[in-house]
Amino acid sequence: MAFSLFHLVREPKTKKGKNPLLLLLHGYGSNEEDLFSFASELPDEYYVISARAPYGLPPYGYAWYAINFDADENKFSDIAEARQSRDLVLQFIDELTAQYPIDAEDVTLVGFSQGCILGYAAALSHPQKIRRVVAMSGYLNEDIAVEGFRENDFSQLKMFISHGSADQVIPVDWARKAKPELDKLGIESVYKEYPVGHGVAPQNFYDLLAWLKR
């Protein structure tokens, strides 16, 4: 079967009839190897699949959508490209559950930076496909979600949000706006900050693992 996105797979160490999925979405200018370096530390029962974003950024990186670095927050992203990537991720989830023995009711998106922004948008657009979102070092951009997303049933969706308080790429103020919005939608979420820049602190990783295991 041809997949929409190139990806790396760590099969579960503990096989069940169907296993849960952790789908890793990397940041702008990175690639599928980045978050996959954590794969061996992630819980044994999960399929851990790391996707490569569709747009190449020479020399070695990829992006989910183009970014205009010198604009204000509202014009920061190519929204049309971002929405295409959102739909690509949702289609990719369907392909994975068709091809691998993955429990379609137990899909977690783990996104960093641009992957985090995309993870929010995918989950808000189609919460029936995504059970949990780990949103690291990104922010909530509602423009990337489908129109009318507020009418969706979010009762099964949970989110773990984390950000570096010294993040020089995506200001922590942008990240802090997410939880109040999610609260309004009735989405259960945890928000944590760590004294780091644009990266994942060890304590962040331990807290995320504890949250997943809970």
Domain map (residue ranges) of the chain: 7-213
Quote the CA–CA distance of 97 and 20 in Å, as a whole number.
Answer: 10
Res 121 pLDDT > 70: yes
**Listed residue (170, 101, 102) closest to 135, CA to CA:** 170
For all residues of the chain together, what is the average pLDDT? 94
Report whether 10 contacts 47 (CB < 8 A).
yes
Please state the pTM of the whole predicted model.
Answer: 0.95
191 backbone dihedrals φ, ψ, rounded to 5°: -120, 130
Q: Where are the beta strands (DSSP E) in 29-124?
A: 47-51, 55-57, 61-63, 102-112
Whole-number pLDDT of residue 126: 98
Q: Quick one: pLDDT band at residue 70, thresholds 50, 70, 90?
A: low
Res 56 pLDDT > 70: yes
The position carrying tokens 């952790």 is 22
7-213: in CATH 3.40.50.1820: yes
Quote the CA–CA distance of 197 and 169 in Å, as a whole number.
Answer: 8
Q: What would the pLDDT profile of 173-194 be if each residue is shown by its tens digit?
A: 999 999 999 999 999 999 999 9
Whole-number pLDDT of residue 27: 96
Q: What would the pLDDT profile of 71-118 be if each residue is shown by its tens digit?
A: 555 546 789 999 999 999 999 999 999 999 999 999 999 999 999 999
Res 197 pLDDT > 90: yes
Half-sphere exposure of 43 (CA within 13 A, CB side): 16
Q: Taken in order 69, 72, 78, 82, is the CA torsion positive or negative?
A: positive
With vertex at residue 208, the alpha carbon angle to CA 196 and CA 155, rounded to the nearest 5 degrees, is 125
